[in-house]
Amino acid sequence: MTSSLIARATDNAAKRARERDAWEAYEQLDLDVRRRIAPLWTIVPRTGLERTRGERGALDLGPGDDQAELNSWLTPRMDRLIEAMADGPGRLDAAHVEGNVHGCAVSLRRLITRSRLRLVTGPERHPALQRYAADLAFLSRRGMGIRVLVGAPPDEPMSTGLLSLLDRLCLPPSLTDLILDMGAVTDPGEAGKTAVAALDVLGTLVPWRTVVLTAGAFPRVYDSPAREPFYVSGRHDWQLHGAVRAARPTFQAAVVYGDYSAEHVFSANVPHVRPQGPPWGVMRYTAPDGFLLGRVPTRGGRDRADRVRAMARRITESAVFRGADYGDGERWLQECADGEGVKGSGNAETWIKVGHSQHLNFVVHQLMGAEE
């Protein structure tokens, strides 16, 4: 959901680009593609420092000064998400805001009564917040998801704890999705061993409604300003998926593929507003086994647009480009590459949205091909 008036406009654009207009990319997909996607949305923090993955958030069960601010910030975003989903299936993880129960109560109740989204909780979260999410899930009658952050092969205490959580929250397995979240994958071989162990130990505990294996390999581009303007990064999350399928071809439950789209695993841990964004953004394109990334400026005049279009040409002239007729993302990249002047060269927000659009469309077709 995030992107800066000349100096000030650049800053505002960068903020919007960091919010990531992922839901716009989703709602612009062809209906046949959307029917095959059940997104897992994570609400980014409203304020504060970047959240640590898997760390239990602060609990605030009483009204406080931040209640009205969180409600006024969160409610329109959730209403916009409900609109984007258009009654499509998916899940929502409110880990970064759910600690302020009063502040997010209106938004989450609207969400579960006006959409088909299922809420998500996790074993590491405060029992009071687990109970709150389960109560809302009971109200929705759609069940919920248990998101397990897998950093190492699971042991007996993890299995026991997961069974205890299901029992304590009165969650029937037939209405519960197990989401095995592998996080950032840099070594698909080692991650594959851990994922297979997680499937063998946790995936077989109960007859889950769905088992989802998700991971991310998109690099954290804003941490690497010294890189070459154009480079290729491996899609280790896709390689992980293939390794697990090969290791467990007859797993008792269908293992659903999941990834973080064209975004880094930790992107949703960052507050939606930062003081200032970088003076550049990233054009991104998903290849069968890698990500094409091009750093382009967000500030400047005609020179900025020329550099953006040159990067778009570098992508569209690559051997892995699927052609302008493949989808809206490819069409925009081709038009950008062929155009002139500032108009139509986009901004950080546009590039992220196009990145998500082409990725989601391609992965759906890639999975369909793997099933044939």
**Number of residues that this document lists for the chain:** 372
Task: Look at residue 135 in the predicted model and tell me its pLDDT.
Answer: 96
Give the alpha-carbon dihedral of 272, 114, 179, 130, to 10 degrees: 80
Q: Tokens at residue 48, please?
A: 């504060």
- List phi, psi (to 5°) of 345: -90, -10
CB–CB of 140/113 below 8 Å?
A: yes
pLDDT tens across 328-362, in order? 999 999 999 999 999 999 999 999 999 999 999 99
Please state the φ and ψ torsions of residue 321, each to the nearest 5 degrees: -65, 135
13-60 pLDDT tens trace: 434 444 457 889 999 999 999 999 999 999 999 988 888 888 887 787
Mean pLDDT for the stretch of residues 158-170: 96
For the whole model, what pTM was predicted? 0.91
Residue 162: which residues within 8 A CB-CB, separation 6 or more? 123, 146, 148, 202, 205
Please state the rounded mean pLDDT for residues 155-168. 96
* β-sheet with 116-121: strand ranges across: 40-42, 89-93, 116-121, 144-149, 176-184, 210-216, 255-259
Please report, rounded to a whole number, the percentage of residues in the chain having pLDDT higher than 70: 89
**Residue 32, burial from CB neighbour count under 10 angstroms (0-12, 13-18, 19+):** exposed
pLDDT of residue 56: 80
Sign of CA dihedral 28, 34, 37, 39: positive
HSE value, Cβ hemisphere, 13 Å, CA-based, for 210:
19
**What's residue 223's pLDDT?**
58
| Helices vs strands, H then E, count in the chain | 12, 10
Pairing relationship of beta strands 89-93 and 40-42 according to DSSP bridges = parallel
- 176 vs 300: CA distance, rounded Å: 50
pLDDT of residue 64: 62
Q: pLDDT higher for 103 or 56?
A: 103
Residue 15 pLDDT: 41
pLDDT range class, residue 299, cuts 50, 70, 90: confident
Question: How does DSSP classify residue 167?
Answer: H
pLDDT of residue 5: 25
Beta bridge partners of 211: 178, 255
- With bands split at pLDDT 50, 70 and 90, how would you rate the model's confidence at 371? low
For residue 343, give the DSSP letter: T
- Model pLDDT, residue 166: 97
In this predicted structure, which of 4-13, 283-292, 302-311 has the lowest mean pLDDT? 4-13
Who contacts 238 (Cβ-Cβ below 8 Å, separation ≥6)? Answer: 217, 259, 288, 289, 366
pLDDT recorded at residue 54: 85
Cβ pair 326, 351 in contact under 8 A = no
pLDDT at position 65, please? 64
Taking the C-alpha atoms of residue 347 and residue 336, their distance in angstroms, rounded to an integer, is: 11
Give the C-alpha distances (Å, rounded to integers) separating 107 from 21, 128, 327: 19, 18, 33
Write down the pLDDT at residue 301. 72
